[in-house]
Amino acid sequence: MDTFESLVRAEFAPRNTYLNTASSGLLPARAVAALSAAARLRAEGLPLDPLFEDVEAARAAFARLAGVPASRVAAGPSVSVHSGLIAAALPAGAEVLTAEGEFTSVVQPFHARGDLKVRTVALDRLADSVRPGTALIAVSAAQSADGRVAALSAVREVARTHGARTYVDFSQAGGWLPIDAGSYDYTVCTGFKWLLGPHGAAFLVVPEEAADFGGLTPLLAGWVAGEDPWASCYGPIAELAHSARRFDLGYALFSYAGLRASLSLIEELGVQAVHAHDLALADRFRAGLATLGHEPVPAPGSAIVSVPGLGARQPELSAAGIEVSNRAGHLRASFHLYNTPADVDRLLDALAT
């Protein structure tokens, strides 16, 4: 029987100490093989039907991870596109509540409207800042800059009290933190970070058709959004898909081929096992930082650790074969399933010099 470690070692063989999943995850061997097979289809002029099947398989796999039916999952290229769809559905003058320092792709479309009231507060004050006039709360489950995990249960409960909708970005959490997408109006997650897929694929979870898809309009719908896509190639779509697929955008087929394979690995390992593995490494790093006299940004329960004042060391660490990020002057290390205690110790040893 395969163990967690044996499954991981069969898929990854990085040439360096890679602690930068919060920027982009490593591709497992099975995803690389899937990308190669997809490219061969194009190179050899073979039918592309298997690649469209990959889209649906990836959608179904993400739906299982998110705890919702696949009929609630739309496929698109990026978080910002999905944010734009939600922003477009709000009436003029609506209030959107966001967290300070929130990732740009989550919030920029609301600012770009120009006729919305975007109110920004500290992350730890988000739930307390919801009021009767708040139409939408937009927040990341885990903050990109420093890994702080939002108090989503509190946000959800106060949103229900005041009749606000919730929009949660799981891009820095999906794959190591369990997703309960059914608890929110809209959730989004890109595939190239903790889900270990290629760039160019993301998922949006919306309410079911019976709930009018949460008031969203398929403004960007193309032929793949039709109930029968191959009968929707010319002229206006006669019948939009009865599922969230009406919000699909043209597929980056290679990306979904790779992502389907990557998601299969996440499912085999289990998010709970990945969660325990990742947090153990992050806590090991936090403990080591304390011995060196460094205090990271408080982010309990996060696989992302951000250390103020050390961001400038990123280039020298990269030159030494240790990949981390410099975010707002902080050194950001992010720990995922392919990392080991030896990786943590190597980074600590480098920071000690």
The side-by-side arrangement of strands in the sheet containing 304-307 is 304-307, 330-334, 325-327
Does residue 153 sit within a domain? yes
Same domain? 21 vs 155: no
In a shared domain, residues 13 and 49: no
Q: What is the pLDDT of residue 1?
A: 57
Evaluate whether residue 77 is within a structural domain: yes
263 and 278 part of one domain: no
Amino acid identity at 55: V
Question: Tokens 């270990």 correspond to what residue?
Answer: 196
Q: In angstroms, rounded to a whole number, what is the distance separating the alpha carbons of residues 22 and 77? A: 18
Domain that includes residue 203, residue range: 37-267
List, for the chain, all residue ranges whose pLDDT scores fall below the cut of 50: none
Tell me whether residue 87 is in a domain: yes
Q: What is the pLDDT of residue 2?
A: 74
Of 171, 224, 191, nearest to 35 (Cα)? 191
Number of domain units in the chain: 2
CA 6 to CA 11: how far, in whole Å?
9
Residue 115 belongs to a domain: yes
DSSP notation for 262-294: HHHHHHHH-HHHHHHHHHHHHHHHHHHHHHHT-
| Final residue belonging to a domain, choices 201, 235, 267 | 267
- Please tell me the predicted confidence (pLDDT) of residue 31: 98
Specify whether 171 is located in the same domain as 54: yes
By CB atoms closer than 10 A (0-12, 13-18, 19+), residue 161 is exposed
Q: What is the CATH number of the domain that holds 107?
A: 3.40.640.10
CB 201 within 8 A of CB 191: yes
Shared domain for 308 and 167, answered yes or no, is no
pTM, entire model = 0.96
Q: What per-residue confidence (pLDDT) applies to 199?
A: 98
Name the domain boundary from 232, 267, 302. 267
Task: Give residue 286's Cα distance to chain centre.
Answer: 24
**Domain check: are 113 and 19 in the same one?**
no
Q: Are residues 19 and 154 in the same domain?
A: no
80 lies in some domain: yes
Asked if the structure places residue 32 within a domain, the reply is no
Residue 347 resides in a domain: yes
DSSP 11: H
Instruction: Examine the domain organization and report whether 158 and 298 are in the same domain.
Output: no
Q: Answer yes or no: do 293 and 312 share one domain.
A: yes
Q: pLDDT value at position 328?
A: 86
Of 267, 292, 322, which closes a domain? 267
Residue with tokens 């073979």: 46
**pLDDT per position as a tens digit, 167-190:** 999 999 999 999 999 999 999 999
226/284 same-domain check:
no
Residue 345 shares a structural domain with residue 221? no
Residue 165, SS3 per DSSP: strand
How far CA 189 is from CA of 72, 151, 173, in Å, comes to 14, 18, 8
- Write the CATH number for 21: 3.90.1150.10
Residues 280, 257, single domain; the answer is no
> Alpha helix locations (H) across 24-78?
29-44, 49-66
Residue 198 in any domain: the answer is: yes
